[in-house]
Amino acid sequence: MAEFRMPSLGADMERATVVHWLVQVGDRIERGQVVAEVETEKGVLEVESFESGIVEELLVCEGTTVAVGTPLARIGAVAGGEGQPVPGALSVATAGRAAPAVAPAAAPAITPTVAPAVAPAAASAITPTVAPAVASAAQSIEPAAAARPAAQTRGRRRISPAARALAESADIDLDRVEGTGPDDAVTLADVRRAQRQPTSIGAAEPPALATGEDHAAPSTSAIRPAAPSGLATDAARRAAMRASIAALMSRSKREIPHYYLSQEIDLERALLWLENENLRRPVEERLLPAALLLKAVATAAVEVPEMNGFFENSAFRASTAVHLGVAISLRDAGLIAPAILDADRRSAGELMAALRDLVRRARSGGLRASEMSSPTLTVTNLGDQGVTAVFGVIYPPQVAIVGFGKVFARATVEENGIRNRRMVTATLSADHRVSDGHRGAYFLAAVGRLLQRPEEL
Amino acid sequence: MTDQELRDLVLSVLAGIAPDADLASLAPGEDLRERLDIDSMDHLNFVIGLHQATGVEIPERDYARLVTLRDTLAYLAARLHSGSH
């Protein structure tokens, strides 16, 4: 028997709210399977189980905020064969919130959902004690279950942070919003559309007299009663994100004696290689310069381990794995820096695919808790915005952050005359408790050297 | 494909990349990267989306011709009509 606990969600996250259970009591789960979605100041994250087994009890109901490390569920060993009936028939998890939004219209859709939940009720292995909060929620099981479509589809849905915020503030059931974004992700526009459609429950709002088509969202939202509270919540979320960033960065500046280095790196050879490579790659597999930069940093981190790891409890622990954090702007919603796991062991092409996937999930939902807590070294690239150099603030407990500015042209004097070379300024902010400028310079030099042989990256 | 269909198609690709942007007020001559806060990753996804939706091959050297909505439409229309895709 093992306890499944709220995992670490990054240095700045002390607590999180369980927003959805994606498993039910009696479900068999595998290590690495996403079992819940939790909400933090940095958005909704997917939480994986570190155990395989049977879900025996859910200890926290949806909507509850708990500290990191709090037991969330009890996972039991798989008893006997696989064909054995699962213990525990009814899911307390699906009850979740007290289900005021039961729409009769939704009822016909439930049949497939309910079926698995009514598994043989041999609850032998299950402790009869259920947390009080869970118990009361359990009473509303039927209507709650009826209001929800299949858990599987719900669990896999992508929901943009802005969409989720508006849905909550306007009390819109996301399960009933059709997603039209990439991978059927629910976008802000979808929620606005749903907001304008009177629901079958006899919504509190009169049907909006939209002047135009769906595109008229901004103007119609101005006359909606729900809009003000929606904005307030959006603002609150932004404030929470800012507070979270502020807390971590303040801690960094307070505790970490940063030193800063910068070096101009000749990218001409790497970019020519890249352009050539992209000519023969289908568009879906084309590489961005960022893929080469990340690969060079990850490889250099193996060479100079003082840049890669955690400083905790007054001591530095180098990491053998390189989990490369990538600072991703969420546009007006803040900043997040999840990791590409084992970046040093991936090819440039694989890194590119991983980066695309990570950026997509950072912006439309679906980041994993493990990706948030694992970066051993972070890279920030502000070249797209045109800055020439960025000196980052280290994310504790990491000990370094590498920055890249925009690619610029430089006339360089060479043996045969003057040539035009494309350059980038690479910077390093590193922790003086762990390394000195000499090692930092060696690290940046390694990044530069590796980028001169792109074909080997 | 009519001009209107092509326009709708390009806008739907953009909507997939910048889901929370207000595309209805996008002017044809506006710089898409600036207006929609599109970075190089978004731009690559834009090119991939255009390719998948139209079948037009867009080599990297042509990226500079996709700066505005108007440029993008003209570029795609020329290739679709010449049947070169």
Residue partners of B8: CB distance under 8 A and separation at least 6: none
Question: Closest chain B residue to A291 measured between Cα atoms?
Answer: B41
Question: Which residues of chain A lie closer than 8 angstroms to B59, CB-CB?
Answer: 279
> For the segment A38-57, what is each residue's pLDDT rounded down to a tens digit?
988 877 889 988 888 999 99
CA dist A67 to A7, A119, A136, A238, Å?
9, 33, 22, 21
Q: How far apart are CA A28 and CA A78, in angstroms?
A: 8
Residue in chain B lying closest to A183 (CA): B16
Asked if residue A282 has a cis previous peptide bond (ω within 30° of 0), the answer is: no
CA distance A385 to A157: 31
Contact partners, residue A256, CB within 8 Å, separation at least 6: A311, A394, A396, A399, A431, A432, A433
Q: How far is B34 from chain A (nearest CA, A)?
A: 9
Mean pLDDT computed over A223-230: 33
Task: Give residue A257's pLDDT.
Answer: 98
Domain A2-156 has CATH 2.70.70.10: no
- Integer Cα distance of A85 and A26 in angstroms: 9
Distance (Å, whole) CA A309 – CA A374: 10
CB-CB under 8 Å, B22 with A290: no
In the numeric block, which tokens belong to residue A390? 């960025």
DSSP characters for B2-23? -HHHHHHHHHHHHHHHSTTS-G
| Optimal mutation site among B11, B20, B48, interface A, most CBs of chain A within 10 A | B20
Among candidates B16, B40, B57 on the partner chain, residue whose Cβ is nearest the Cβ of A288: B40
For residue A156, name the pLDDT band (cuts at 50, 70, 90). Answer: low
| Contact yes or no for A186/A163 (Cβ under 8 A) | yes
Q: What is the pLDDT of residue A123?
A: 37
Angle at Cα B21 formed by Cα A185 and Cα B1, nearest 5°?
Answer: 80
The domain in which residue B8 lies consists of 3-18+27-82
- The answer to whether B40 contacts A182, with C-beta atoms less than 8 Å apart, is no
- Report yes or no: B31 and B71 within 8 Å, Cβ to Cβ: no
Residue A206 CA neighbour count, 13 Å, CB half = 3
Which CATH architecture group holds A157-255?
Irregular (4.10)
Are A436 and A256 spatial neighbours (Cβ–Cβ below 8 Å)?
A: no
Where in the sequence of chain A do the CATH 2.40.50.100 domains occur?
A: 2-156
A191 interfacial to chain B (CB closer than 8 Å): no
Is residue A79 pLDDT above 80, yes or no? no
Most confident of A190-194, A340-344, B24-28: A340-344
State whether B19 and A189 contact (CB < 8 Å). Answer: yes
pLDDT tier at A370, thresholds 50, 70, 90: confident
In angstroms, rounded to a whole number, what is the distance separating the alpha carbons of residues A40 and A43?
5
Report the distance separating Cα A220 and Cα B84, nearest Å. 43
Measured between beta carbons, the chain B residues lying within 8 angstroms of A162 are 20
Report the DSSP pairing between strands A65-67 and A309-312: unpaired
Distance CA(B45)–CA(B66), nearest Å, equals 13
Q: Which residues, at least 6 apart from A448, have a Cβ–Cβ distance to it below 8 Å?
A: A263, A265, A266, A426
In chain B, residues with a C-beta closer than 8 Å to the C-beta of A329 are 39
B16–A278 C-beta distance less than 8 A: no
Could you please report the per-residue DSSP string of A270-317?
HHHHHHHHHHSS-GGGPPPHHHHHHHHHHHHHHH-GGGSEEEETTEEE
Residue A213: closest CA among chain B residues belongs to which residue? B24
Residue A140 has a CB neighbour count (10 Å cut-off) of 18
| All residues at 6 or more sequence positions from B4 whose CB lies less than 8 Å from its CB, including other chains | none
B8-23 tens-digit pLDDT: 999 999 998 887 788 8
CATH of A257-456, one of 3.40.50.2300, 3.30.559.10, 1.10.274.10, 1.20.1740.10: 3.30.559.10
- Residue intervals in chain A for CATH 4.10.320.10: 157-255
Q: Do B41 and A278 touch (CB under 8 A)?
A: no
CATH code of the domain containing B64: 1.10.1200.10
pLDDT, residue A236, reads: 82
Measured between beta carbons, the chain A residues lying within 8 angstroms of B19 are: 160, 163, 181-182, 185, 187-189, 363-364
- The residues, any chain, with a CB within 8 Å of residue A292's CB and separated by 6 or more, are A270, A274, A348, A451, A454, A457
A288 touching chain B per CB within 8 A: yes
8 Å CB contact between A187 and A180:
yes
- Interface test with chain B among A193, A277, A356, A384, by most B beta carbons within 10 Å: A384
pLDDT reported for residue A138: 37
Q: Which residues of A touch B20 (CB under 8 A)?
A: 160, 162-163, 187-189, 331
Q: Are strands A34-40 and A28-29 parallel, antiparallel or unpaired?
A: unpaired
- How many residue pairs from chains A and B have C-beta atoms closer than 8 A? 57
* DSSP string for A5-62: EPPP--TT--EEEEEEE-S-TT-EE-TT-EEEEEEETTEEEEEE-SS-EEEEEE-S-T
Measured from the Cβ of residue A247, the count of other Cβ atoms closer than 10 Å reads 14
Q: Which of B31, B38, B41 to mutate to probe the A interface, most A CBs <10 Å?
A: B41
Assess contact for A262 and A402: CB atoms under 8 A. Answer: no
A181 touches chain B (CB under 8 A): yes
CATH 3.30.559.10 in chain A, residue ranges: 257-456
pLDDT digits (tens, 9 = 90+) for A297-317: 999 999 999 999 999 999 999
**Count: domains in chain B:** 1
ipTM score of complex: 0.86
| Chain B residue whose CA is closest to A356 | B41
Question: pLDDT, tens digit, for every residue of A257-302?
Answer: 999 999 999 999 999 999 999 999 999 999 999 999 999 999 999 9
Q: Which residue has the higher pLDDT, A259 or A239?
A: A259
User: Is B15 close to A331, i.e. CB distance below 8 A?
Assistant: no
CA distance A106 to A133: 26
The residue length of chain B stands at 85
